[in-house]
């Protein structure tokens, strides 16, 4: 649990050990729970925002698909040419 706390707090494990040294285990559990909630809450907020605006998600996906298509098309044309598909041009 100390390792998880240190990772979430972005601090060295030795610092977390020093921080909770001499305290009850419940202090670490409480601090870890609060820190985990603080780190995870923005993810839930973003998921709610995305769920509330499906048109924006669709627009981002369409843009990504178009950019991927633009990058892949010349490569796929070359592959079709090398494989010998009829009608394939360079």
Q: What is the 3-state secondary structure (H, E, C) of 4-15?
A: HHHHHHCCCHHH
Which pLDDT does position 88 carry in this prediction? 59
Q: Are residues 48 and 59 in the same domain?
A: no
Q: Are residues 6 and 48 in the same domain?
A: yes
Q: What total number of domains does the chain contain? A: 2
* Residue 89 binned pLDDT confidence (cut-offs 50, 70, 90): low
First-last CA distance in the chain: 58
Which pLDDT does position 84 carry in this prediction? 86
Q: Are residues 4 and 46 in the same domain?
A: yes
Q: Are residues 39 and 59 in the same domain?
A: no
3-62, pLDDT tens digit by residue? 999 999 999 999 999 999 999 999 999 999 999 999 999 999 999 999 999 999 999 999
| Eight-class DSSP state of 88 | -
Q: Are residues 5 and 35 in the same domain?
A: yes
* CA–CA gap between residue 86 and residue 37 (Å, rounded): 58
Q: Are residues 1 and 44 in the same domain?
A: yes
Domain range for residue 25? 1-52
């Amino acid at each position: 649990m100390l390792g998880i706390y240190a990772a979430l707090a972005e601090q060295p494990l030795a610092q977390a050990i020093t921080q909770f040294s001499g305290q009850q285990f419940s202090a670490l559990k409480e601090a870890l729970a609060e820190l985990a909630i603080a780190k995870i809450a923005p993810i839930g907020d973003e998921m709610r925002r995305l769920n509330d605006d499906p048109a924006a998600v669709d627009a981002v996906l369409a843009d990504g698909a178009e950019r991927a298509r633009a990058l892949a098309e010349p490569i796929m044309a070359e592959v079709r040419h090398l494989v010998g598909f009829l009608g394939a041009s360079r």
